[in-house]
Amino acid sequence: MTNIITTQNPCTGAVLQTYEGWTPEKIEAAVSAGHVAAKEWGKQPLATRVAAVRRLAEQLRSQAKTFAELVTAEMGKVGAEAAGEMEKSAVTAIYYADNAEQILADETVSIAGVNTWVSYEPIGMVLAVMPWNFPVWQVMRFAIPAITAGNGVLLKHSPNVTGCALALEKLFLDAGLPRNLVTTLVVAEPQVPQVIDSLIQDDRIAAVTLTGSNRAGAAVGAAAGRASKKSVLELGGSDAFIVLDDADLDAAVTAAVKARYHNAGQSCVCAKRFIVSQAIAEQFTDRFVAATKALVVGDPTSAATQMGPLARPDLRDALDQQVRRSVEAGATLLAGGKAIEGAGNFYEPTVLANMKPGMAAFDEETFGPLAAIAVAKDDADAVHLANATPFGLSVSVWSASNERALAVAKGVTSGAAFINAITASDARVPFGGTKKSGYGRELATAGIREFTNARTYWAAKSA
């Protein structure tokens, strides 16, 4: 069983760095120090915590170029998209710095004869198990509110972005946060299940959050249940992008291409199943295929590149198998459909039509540049197809009538619904899923309160 982590450039295959996974003794030392730091941080006035979060926003912006280059090197994200992660994280830090006093303020409850209020208090150290697809943003959208609320963070990041993970720990220190308040654990893949389970059972860990696969989420959720601990899970998605027959086709196609191929399709909350009204299905499909074929795929460090490689070879191979199984089941291949020869984990932007429930690319989460198009007879059928999935993260509906689109969206089970807009997370609104897309919320008021103790105070009034 190896204890070595090797990071590779997904564009070239070149080895970037090797890291030795931490020993149990080193992990124990980190947990012990983090527990102490979190307890002390929770005692700090909110104004102190807010000031630190403002400094964090400054560091996110001042180090944006260096970080973006590291993200691109480790997981292949196009440069502009990598820079976007940094800015989105900075904006989120500013949002919480501006709004924390209001969000975390005591809430008075009017009850005759008593003084009653609810306080949102820190809970301690939170274990965060984070994925590679947005190496900075995924961490920051949890860590910023958690720290603002007075908690500490123990980060177990994906091994293939270990460089990003360690740089993030330093970023918090550069912002002047206390040492050990945010700690990155370096854990090699074979040790991950045992390490995560033991940490969740540790009394010094107050709660756990995970963004990742359903398999990983089920394991973490079960472990948290055994330990009677709070957990927040943001899991997979197979979002429907519904185009009704009165939609602006130009706008819908432009948005659909961006929604599917952003980050090479490696996002839980991007459009994956395109459900199109029968009357416009041919027009939409023709335009979408043409736009897909026009995408510039290549070196993510080039300003001309619109889509880079997949993050790892196994991800590319898994996507290829989903394409093949779907075609064997009756799907029609209209674009792409194979790995691009040469160095790197590149896969052609791919479009499958005649998709139906029961096909791999319809039933399963696809994590790569694969668009699945299904035709709906009417609005009710579009809702039926959108719901024919175990996932429920978000839905996007396109129509000239907001009222009609909203009626369709309300029929789809999801954590969010977007009308004539691409699904996305935003600091000002809660983010999370339903069904097998997880539970709990990140961002906004709901997100920061997930990892607080909503504590009731009840004091009899003096006679």
Residues 144 and 117 both lie in one domain: yes
> Of how many residues is the chain composed?
463
In a domain, 264, yes or no: yes
Residues 167 and 85 both lie in one domain: yes
CATH number (domain holding residue 300): 3.40.309.10
pLDDT digits (tens, 9 = 90+) for 14-64: 999 999 999 999 999 999 999 999 999 999 999 999 999 999 999 999 999
The pair of structure tokens assigned to 242 is 């519904």
| CA distance linking residue 360 with residue 172, whole number of Å | 42
CA distances 128 to 115, 125, 183, 322, Å, are 37, 10, 10, 30
The CA-based dihedral angle spanning residues 244, 247, 253, 254, taken in that order and rounded to the nearest 10 degrees: -140
> What is the count of structural domains for the chain?
2
Residue in 81, 85, 164, 268 annotated catalytic: 268
In a domain, 289, yes or no: yes
| CA distance linking residue 1 with residue 25, whole number of Å | 18
| CA distance linking residue 431 with residue 233, whole number of Å | 11
In a domain, 13, yes or no: yes
The pair of structure tokens assigned to 76 is 């292949």
pLDDT of residue 294: 99
Positions in the chain whose pLDDT score sits under 50: none
Partners of 230 in the β-ladder: 207
CATH number (domain holding residue 47): 3.40.605.10
Residue 432's region, left for phi above 0, alpha for psi from -120 to 50, else beta, is left
Residues 422 and 273 both lie in one domain: yes
| Burial of 30 per CB tally in 10 Å (0-12, 13-18, 19+) | middle
Residues 180 and 287 both lie in one domain: no
CB-hemisphere CA count at 13 Å for 388? 20
pLDDT of residue 2: 83
Tokens 């199943």: give the residue: 273
At 358, is the secondary structure helix, strand, or coil?
coil
| Annotation marks residue 28 as catalytic | no
Residues 377 and 287 both lie in one domain: yes
Closest CA to 271 of 458, 402, 396, 113: 396
pLDDT of residue 462: 84
Residues 243 and 185 both lie in one domain: no
Per-residue DSSP letters for 110-168? EETTEEEEEEEEE--EEEEE--SSSTTHHHHHHHHHHHHTT-EEEEE--GGGHHHHHHH
Residues 261 and 408 both lie in one domain: yes
| CA distance linking residue 292 with residue 348, whole number of Å | 9
Residues 213 and 277 both lie in one domain: no
| CA distance linking residue 230 with residue 165, whole number of Å | 24
8 A C-beta contact, residue 440 and residue 231: yes
- Interior/surface letters 151-175, b for 16+ CB within 10 angstroms, e for the rest: bbbbbbbbbbbbbbbbbbbebbebb
In a domain, 431, yes or no: no
pLDDT digits (tens, 9 = 90+) for 64-122: 999 999 999 999 999 999 999 999 999 999 999 999 999 999 999 999 999 999 999 99
Residue in 74, 234, 348, 442 annotated catalytic: 234
pLDDT of residue 421: 99
Which backbone phi and psi does 343 adopt, to 5 degrees?
-70, 155
In a domain, 432, yes or no: no
In a domain, 140, yes or no: yes
Residues 281 and 295 both lie in one domain: yes
Per-residue DSSP letters for 280-341? GHHHHHHHHHHHHHT--BS-TTSTT-SB---SSHHHHHHHHHHHHHHHHTT-EEEE--SBPS
Tell me the residue type at 105: A
At 414, is the secondary structure helix, strand, or coil?
coil
| Annotation marks residue 328 as catalytic | no
Residues 274 and 416 both lie in one domain: yes
Q: Which domain holds residue 327?
A: 239-426
| Beta strand pairing call for 391-392 and 434-435 | antiparallel
| CA distance linking residue 431 with residue 171, whole number of Å | 25
Residues 220 and 258 both lie in one domain: no
| CA distance linking residue 256 with residue 262, whole number of Å | 10
pTM: 0.97
Residues 129 and 268 both lie in one domain: no
Tell me the residue type at 170: K
| CA distance linking residue 307 with residue 350, whole number of Å | 12
CB atoms within 10 A of CB 247: 23
In a domain, 319, yes or no: yes
